[in-house]
Amino acid sequence: MTKKVKISIWPEMMAKLNTAQAMLRALPGLAICAMGFGISFAAQGQPAWFGNDVGPGLMARLLGTGVMGLGAIWAAWCVLRPAARQSAGCGDTSLAAANWASGPALLGAVLVFALCLPALGLVISAGMAATLAAIGAGERNPVALTITVVGLTALTAGIGLVFLPPTAPLWPAI
Residue 78 confidence class, pLDDT cut points 50, 70, 90: confident
Is the pTM of the predicted complex or chain greater than 0.75? no
The pLDDT assigned to 173 comes to: 72
Residue 20 confidence class, pLDDT cut points 50, 70, 90: confident
- Kindly report the three-state secondary structure assignment for every residue of the chain: CCCCCCCCCHHHHHHHHHHHHHHHHHHHHHHHHHHHHHHHHHHCCCCCEECCEECHHHHHHHHHHHHHHHHHHHHHHHHHCCCCCCCCCCCCHHHHHHCCCHHHHHHHHHHHHHHHHHHHHHHHHHHHHHHHHHHHCCCCCHHHHHHHHHHHHHHHHHHHHHHCCCCCCCCCCC
Residue 17 vs residue 50, higher pLDDT: 50
Residue 68 confidence class, pLDDT cut points 50, 70, 90: very high
Which of 130-134, 136-140, 154-158 is least confident?
A: 136-140
Residue 167 vs residue 15, higher pLDDT: 167
